[in-house]
Amino acid sequence: MRNEVIIAGGGIAGLAAAVALTDAGYRVRVVEAGRMPGGRALSLHDETRGDAVDIGPHVLTSEHRNMLALLGRLGTAREIDWQPQRFITLVDDGEAIPMKNHALPAPLHFLPNFLRVRKLAASDILSARRTLYRVMRMNEADVLAMDDRDAESVLRGLGVSENFIDWFWRTVCMAIMNVPLEECSAGSLMRFLWMMSARGDFHFGFPRIPLGELFVPMATKLIERGGGSVVTGVAVRAVQCSGRGVQSVALSDGQTIETRRCVLALPPQALQGLLPAFVEQDYQLDRFRTSPYISTWLWFDRRFTEEKFWARIWSPDNLNYDFYEFANFRREPLSTPSLIGSNIIYSDRAAQLDDEAIIARTREELAEFAPASRAARLVHARVHRISMAICAPHPGFEARRPEVRTRVPGLYLAGDWLRTELPSSMESAVRSAYLAVEALAADDALTVRAALPRREPHGISALLAREKAAPRSSPRS
């Protein structure tokens, strides 16, 4: 058995790293400051109803290759309810607009959806052609080149109409990137558009069991079977290093554990004061900003929709953006016929509202999509205020994202905010963990293959990507 690896943080990144290291023959000790593992994908039991609820509703996508590989290893991949045909239902002034994947070569598979939107003229749709062409030819170098500019100004510069910017781009930016369009890195947003448009089979899935149960119980069992442990209620206070690398880790319970290898699977704000000073100065941790959100849970005495998931088109008056009916995809019966979850994204704008006001406004927005909910009796409600959904992808974010390997031998980072060539997400968290495991093993002269790249594009997107990648031939003299 090789030396023990200490992992700080028991969220998705920390547990994914721990499982991969255990599989590679390491003994792992995961140290989680909270009272239970799960991190930002934590599930809790509501004390009043007894149902398990996530701290905020989450979805997976067909492009979550590393996350799905982890769930496959844990035996829970079958617990995802996929909707491959219907991409999402959008709600615009009370009108439900189903967005589907059509049998057209990518990126044209979404085009019929836009043609049916009454608020979009043909000129609005055509105004996006330059943006789409540019995105289809993007690579990571292009993402970084656009990173210092805000997405709103880039879209205007590419000739996108104000109507299409408002209807589509502002909606996508808030719902996916978790920041307003004018505050989002153009590189971050365009990368997501590439992922969504590159394949005609991009779709969403929903956990049939509470989100935390997808990965926490089985990951813990696998770690313990490998001789490791998952300890809660204890935080890493300091990482002691010498010129040769990591020497020990100091914990909040007074223990000091000697180790040569440590993975810090923590968000940037939790790393401040934890890293050696000469390492912390490399990362400008104070420049990372969080995107907070508020999640509302509503239990009703009747069900009033067959939809699993819908999102509201951007409006300056919006409170919530995405809604979920958990009764339509949870495997186990719930305590009431309906359990609605919703998210207020970038929620500083709602900070002055108390829980009662949030619940009342959430019900009003719910009724715009499902008028029958007005007649339903609200049995119970709770509001979660979450300080961080992701690190806000403001301009400059992509350039600041660090690599998993630090310049201290034996010290590695993991987390969705690291440089993974992915948007901050559960998928990015797992991929960062696998990259950290590969780096750690390589430094021990071992070969571990864990991290999976993005899937290759299809259709027209594939042709344009190959055209961009192909070297230009020299003109004949």
> pLDDT of 191-239, one tens digit each?
999 998 888 888 999 999 999 999 999 999 999 999 999 999 999 999 9
Flag whether pLDDT at 3 surpasses 90: no
Fold exhibited by the domain 5-38+215-286+400-443 = FAD/NAD(P)-binding domain (3.50.50)
Flag whether pLDDT at 475 surpasses 60: no
Could you report the per-residue pLDDT of 379-435, keeping only the tens digit for each?
999 999 999 999 999 999 999 999 999 999 999 999 999 999 999 999 999 999 999
Task: Give the dihedral of Cα atoms 19, 20, 25, 30; nearest 10 deg.
Answer: -40
Of 170, 183, 212, which is closest to residue 391 (Cα–Cα)? 183
Quick one: pLDDT band at residue 1, thresholds 50, 70, 90?
very low
Report percent pLDDT > 90 for the chain: 85
Pick the CATH number of 44-65+78-82+204-209+290-391 from 3.40.50.300, 3.60.15.10, 3.90.660.20, 2.40.10.10: 3.90.660.20
- Token pair for residue 378? 């609200």
**Contact yes or no for 114/121 (Cβ under 8 A):** no
- Token pair for residue 26? 């390491």
- Token pair for residue 445? 């002269």
**Contact yes or no for 261/5 (Cβ under 8 A):** yes
Kindly report the number of other CB atoms within 10 A of residue 147's CB atom. Answer: 22
- Token pair for residue 132? 């789409």
Could you report the per-residue pLDDT of 98-110, keeping only the tens digit for each?
999 998 988 899 8
**Contact yes or no for 216/71 (Cβ under 8 A):** no
pLDDT of 461 reads 81
Kindly report the number of other CB atoms within 10 A of residue 33's CB atom. Answer: 17
In the predicted model, what is the mean pLDDT of residues 17-26?
Answer: 97
pLDDT of 476 reads 45
Of 74, 21, 12, which is closest to residue 414 (Cα–Cα)? 12
CA dist 31 and 18 (Å) reads 11
Could you report the per-residue pLDDT of 246-294, keeping only the tens digit for each?
999 999 999 999 999 999 999 999 999 888 888 888 898 999 999 999 9
- Category of 273 on φ-ψ map: left (φ > 0), alpha (ψ -120 to 50) or beta: left
pLDDT of 462 reads 83
Task: Give Dmax (Cα) for the chain.
Answer: 80
